[in-house]
């Protein structure tokens, strides 16, 4: 009986583990640019970058970033 009362008291006084949910940001990239002709390349060329970055920041400070379906042409 004493053990049960002690266990109940410990459960009431025990700190509750609480964690904030991770914060997730999704960023879509769609860029086109031109690099001018110069010393190393006698002609200008155009490039296109497209894709999605997904960044998740956890309550413990971890920062995880994924590039999803990312391409450069």
Q: DSSP string of 15-73?
A: PPP--PPPEEEEEEEEEEEEE---SS-SS-EEEEEEEEEEEEE-TTS-EEEEEEEEEE-
- pTM of the shown model: 0.56
Residues 12-57 have pLDDT tens digits of: 666 656 678 999 999 999 999 999 999 888 999 899 999 999 999 9
What are the backbone dihedrals phi and psi of residue 51, each rounded to the nearest 5 degrees, phi first? 165, -175
Distance between CA atoms of residues 31 and 47, nearest Å: 8
């Amino acid at each position: 009986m004493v053990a049960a009362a002690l266990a109940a008291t410990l459960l009431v006084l025990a700190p509750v583990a609480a964690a904030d949910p991770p914060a997730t940001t999704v960023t879509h990239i769609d860029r086109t640019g031109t690099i001018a002709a110069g010393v190393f390349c006698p002609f200008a060329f155009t490039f296109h970058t497209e894709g999605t970055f997904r960044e998740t920041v956890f309550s413990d400070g971890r920062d995880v970033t994924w590039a999803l379906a990312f391409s450069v042409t």
